[in-house]
């Protein structure tokens, strides 16, 4: 059985749980962001990890092979890696086919759809198993209207890909709710959709409809409601700036949080491109957002400090706070109150 992910306007995505997180033969931890996101935000749904020979990424979860995972209750295998280009590696197919043979659902969020693999599609039919693709935009998207709508919107933006835009949006949504505010996390990528159960995969939307999809994702709401929208790409990325700009124009953010990874100097996998100074990034994000919301402002910095100790993390945040004049913190490490209080 082939299933497209249930997205905004189509109900909530119901995945068979618990999951076995498939890491393939990944060697770049940044490629495993889907598996890491599920581990960090849906740990109760994750049974363990499955790695092929040569894989050096480790989630710190129990190791399973398919047969043992099935025996102890796994109901799905989630492809937890998303390499650049989003292709299904040929070396993964035998493992994913075996999962289907065992009756496990296989869940994917790559640009290559599981259902488009003849071998996997045949196995799903023969063994009455599910292939679930979540990187599928809803049908009938329209071009953007550009019309202003009620409610408040925060968009996380970045100096690069994989700097913490999703984690920041999730953490701020949680903190807003804990502060008594009405807030909804809006997922814009495959990992966020798997975590939230709904959303729109913006990088799979035809370019003309990107801003319209962002309008659909963050509709008119109560005046004091916050939609916290997960950002994608970066304005300064030579490959992915287009999806960033479309998302900015359609979401019409009132507030932006700039996300950066401590110590990163060049664009990941595009080393010929330097990451600009944060002051430059702030200026250009506000200029881009002004097209559909002239009042949009960057209101804080989210610094990914996962590779630093506590003292170095504090010092790095203090430097950026001094340089930009904006509150700076790591919402996975520090109390996000300075960012939330500014919004409220």
The tokens for 184 are 């909804």
pLDDT given for residue 310 in this prediction? 96
Residue 2 has pLDDT above 90, yes or no: no
Domains, the chain, ordered by start: 2-133 (3.40.50.720), 152-343 (3.40.50.300)
Residue 239 CB coordination number (10 Å): 15
Q: What is the distance between the alpha carbons of residues 207 and 329, in angstroms, rounded to a whole number? A: 33
DSSP 44: G
CA 37 to chain centre: 8
Q: What is the distance between the alpha carbons of residues 173 and 131, in angstroms, rounded to a whole number? A: 31
Place of tokens 């994702």: 217
Give the pTM.
0.94
List CB contacts of 109: < 8 A, sequence separation 6 or more: 5, 34, 79, 82, 133, 134, 135, 189, 190, 191, 193, 194, 201
The tokens for 301 are 């910095």
Q: What is the distance between the alpha carbons of residues 160 and 168, in angstroms, rounded to a whole number? A: 14
Q: How far is CA 126 from CA 93, 97, 98, 102, 118, in A?
A: 16, 11, 12, 11, 12
pLDDT band at 84 (very low <50, low <70, confident <90, very high): confident
pLDDT band at 6 (very low <50, low <70, confident <90, very high): very low
pLDDT given for residue 302 in this prediction? 98
pLDDT given for residue 5 in this prediction? 53
The tokens for 173 are 């949504």
Residue 126 has pLDDT above 50, yes or no: yes
State the number of CA atoms in the 13 A half-sphere of 292 facing the CB: 24
Residue 244 has pLDDT above 60, yes or no: yes
Q: What pLDDT, in 10s, does the model give residues 10-39?
A: 556 789 999 999 999 999 998 999 999 999
pLDDT band at 101 (very low <50, low <70, confident <90, very high): very high
Q: What pLDDT, in 10s, does the model give residues 188-225?
A: 999 999 999 999 999 999 999 999 999 999 999 999 99
- pLDDT mean over 176-197: 97
- pLDDT mean over 167-179: 97
- Taking only Cα atoms into account, the Rg of the chain, rounded to an integer number of angstroms, comes to 20
State the number of CA atoms in the 13 A half-sphere of 26 facing the CB: 28
pLDDT given for residue 19 in this prediction? 97
Q: What is the distance between the alpha carbons of residues 269 and 280, in angstroms, rounded to a whole number? A: 21
- pLDDT mean over 306-314: 96
What DSSP line would sit under 30-79, residue for residue? GGGHHHHHHHHH-GGGEEEEEE-TT-----SSPB--HHHHHHTT--EEEE
Q: What is the distance between the alpha carbons of residues 266 and 325, in angstroms, rounded to a whole number? A: 24
Mean pLDDT of the chain: 95
The length of the chain in residues reads: 344
The tokens for 340 are 């939330």
DSSP 219: -
pLDDT band at 85 (very low <50, low <70, confident <90, very high): confident
């Amino acid at each position: 059985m082939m299933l497209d992910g249930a997205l905004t306007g189509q109900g909530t995505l119901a995945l068979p749980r618990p999951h076995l997180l498939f890491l393939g033969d990944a060697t770049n931890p940044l490629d495993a962001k889907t598996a890491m996101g599920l581990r960090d935000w849906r740990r109760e749904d994750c049974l363990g990890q499955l790695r092929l020979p040569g894989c050096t990424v480790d989630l710190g979860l129990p190791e399973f092979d398919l047969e043992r995972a099935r025996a102890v209750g796994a109901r799905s295998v989630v492809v937890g890696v998303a390499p650049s280009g989003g292709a299904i590696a040929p070396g993964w197919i035998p493992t994913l086919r075996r999962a289907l043979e065992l009756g496990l659902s296989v869940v994917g969020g790559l640009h290559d759809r599981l259902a488009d693999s003849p071998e996997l599609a045949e196995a799903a039919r023969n063994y009455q198993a599910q292939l679930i693709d979540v990187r599928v935009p809803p049908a009938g998207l329209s071009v953007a209207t550009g019309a202003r709508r009620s409610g408040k919107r925060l968009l996380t933006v970045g100096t690069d890909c994989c700097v913490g835009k999703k984690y920041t949006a999730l953490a701020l949504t949680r903190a807003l709710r804990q502060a008594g505010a009405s807030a909804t996390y809006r997922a814009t990528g495959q990992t966020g959709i798997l975590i939230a159960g709904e959303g729109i995969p913006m990088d799979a939307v035809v370019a003309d409809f990107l801003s319209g999809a962002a309008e659909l994702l963050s509709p008119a709401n109560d005046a004091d409601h916050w939609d916290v929208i997960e950002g994608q790409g970066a304005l300064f990325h030579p490959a992915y700036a287009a999806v960033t700009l479309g998302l900015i124009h359609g979401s019409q953010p009132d507030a932006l949080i700039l996300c950066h990874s401590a110590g990163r100097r060049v664009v990941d996998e595009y080393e010929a491109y330097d990451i600009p100074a944060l002051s430059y990034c702030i200026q250009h994000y506000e200029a881009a957002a002004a097209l559909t919301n002239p009042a949009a402002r960057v209101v804080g910095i989210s610094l990914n400090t996962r590779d630093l100790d506590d003292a170095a993390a504090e010092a790095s945040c203090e430097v950026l706070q001094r340089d930009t004049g904006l509150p700076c913190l790591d919402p996975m490490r520090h109390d996000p109150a300075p960012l939330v209080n500014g919004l409220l």
